[in-house]
Amino acid sequence: MFRSVITGSGSSIPTHLQSNKDFFDHKFYTEKQELLLNPAADIIEKFKQITGIAERRYATADQTSSDLGAEAARLAIADSGVNAEEIDQLIVAHNFGNVIKNTIQMDAVPSLASRIKHSLGIKNPSCVAYDVLFGCPGWVQGVIHADAFFKAGIAKKALVIGTETLSRVIDMYDRDSMIFSDGAGAVVLEYREVSEDGPGILGASVQTHAVDEVNYIHMGKSYSPDSDDRVRYIKMKGRRVYEYAMKFVPAAMKDCLDKSGIDIRQLKKVFLHQANEKMDEGIIKRLFELYSIDTPQEGIMPMSIHWLGNSSVATVPTLYDLVKKHQMAGHEINPGDHILFASVGAGMNVNAVCYRC
C-alpha cells in the first residue's frame, strides 16, 4: 500500500526576542476604547497566567513571511534529501501575505508560494506553487491537500510550509496583541509504498463553522481612541474562540482517530496549535474525556508557546520539527509512534491529521 510519509522537516525561528517585560510601558484599551487603569505589569502577569506566554519571537525589519518560509523550506528539503526539482506541489499556508515592517498593507501578489519557489531556485514548471488561506489550521490543511493530491495520482512529492509575521498586523493597544508572534515551519511529504503497519497519514478530519462563528477572529480598528479607523488589525473574541475550540477541536481529533482505527491509548504525541496554554490543556483533557478516560498520558502534548508565542500556521510544523530534532526536553518521537496534528482558527475552522511515524 501507499501512504503520505513525512521525510523531512525544518523551521525558521526569528532571532528577535520580545519578552513580556517589553510591554510594561504600553497602554492597553478595551474594545470600547476605554483605557485599562490597572498597571501594565499586572495586566501582563494575568495574561501570562492564562496563556502561558512569557516570550515570543518577531521577524527582523528586513524579513518577510516568504523569507521565513523559504528558510524553513530549505531546511526541510535538506533534511529529506529530495531533489527540489522533483517536488510536484509547493503549498504555503499563511494569513496576511508579506507585510513590510512599519506598514499594514498585505502583499500576496504574487503568491507567497511562487515567491518561495523563486527563492528556492526551483525551475521545474510542473512544481505547482499555491497558497492556502485557512486561518491558523492552514498548515494542517496543506498537509491534507498534499495527501489528497497523492491519492488522486497527481503528485508524488510535496513541500508544505506554514509561515507568518503576525507582529506586523497587531494592535499594540490590545492586550491580545501579546499572544501573536512570527515564524515558519515546513515538511516534505512523499507518497511511498509501505507495509500495513508502516508510516504515513492514516486519516483526517476537517470542519468549517461560518454562521455565528465567522467573525470570532477578524480584522478591526485599533482600540486606541486616537487611532485611524481606516487601518485594520487582527482581532478576536477571546471567550467565543475558547468555547468554540473546547467544543469542536476534541471532537475533530476523536473523529480523526476513529477514522484511522487508532485507540487513543496508542497515541504518543499531540502536536496542537499553540494558541493558549490553558485552552490547549483543556482540549487534551476533553479529548480523553470523550473516551471516558480522565487523565491524559503524561507528556503527550509538547508546548512551545511559552517562548515562541502563537505564530499561527507555523506553530504545528515548528513544534513537530523541534521534537523530531530532539530540541524539546522530555519529548521525542520514534518509528511506529502514532501522533496527531490538530489546529483551530479563523473561519472558524478545525482540522486534525493522524500520522504513524
Summarised one tens digit per residue, pLDDT across range 99-143 is 988 887 889 999 999 999 999 999 999 999 999 999 999 999 999
CA dist 300 and 279 (Å) reads 15
Q: How far apart are CA 268 and CA 244, in angstroms?
A: 25
Rg of the chain over CA atoms, in angstroms? 20
pLDDT at 295 over 90: no
- The answer on pLDDT for 37 being more than 90 is no
Q: Which of 47-51, 101-105, 209-213, 348-352 has the least mean pLDDT? A: 101-105
Each residue of 173-217: pLDDT tens digit? 999 999 999 999 999 999 999 999 999 999 999 999 999 999 999
Distance CA 181, CA 192 (A): 35
What are 247-279's pLDDT values in tens digits?
999 999 999 999 999 999 999 999 999 999 999
**What would the mean pLDDT of 317-326 be, rounded to a whole number?**
98
pLDDT bracket for residue 315 (50, 70, 90): very high
Q: For domain 201-356, is the CATH number 3.40.47.10? A: yes
Helix (H) or strand (E) holding 356: strand 349-356
**Per-residue confidence (pLDDT) for residue 298, from 0 to 100:** 84
Amino acid identity of residue 120, one-letter, is L
| pLDDT for 39 beyond 90 | no
Q: Which residues are within 8 A (CB) of 26 and not within 5 positions of it... i.e. 6 or more apart?
A: 40, 172, 173
Q: What is the reported pLDDT for 320?
A: 98
pLDDT tens track for 61-70: 999 999 999 9
Ranges for all domains in the chain classified under CATH 3.40.47.10 = 2-193, 201-356
Write phi, then psi, for 92 (nearest 5 degrees).
-120, 120
Question: What's the pLDDT band for 25 if we cut at 50, 70, 90?
Answer: confident
**Percentage of the chain surpassing pLDDT 70?**
100
pLDDT for res 328: 93
On average, the pLDDT of the chain sits at 95
pLDDT > 90? residue 297:
no
The pLDDT of residue 103 is 80
Contact between 185 and 72 under an 8 Å Cβ cutoff? The reply is yes
Average of per-residue pLDDT across 45-59: 94
- pLDDT at residue 148, as a whole number: 97
The pLDDT value recorded for residue 294 is 84
Beta bridge partner(s), residue 12: 184
Q: CA nearest 166: which of 34, 18, 272?
A: 18
Q: Domain spanning 2-193: which superfamily?
A: Thiolase/Chalcone synthase (3.40.47.10)
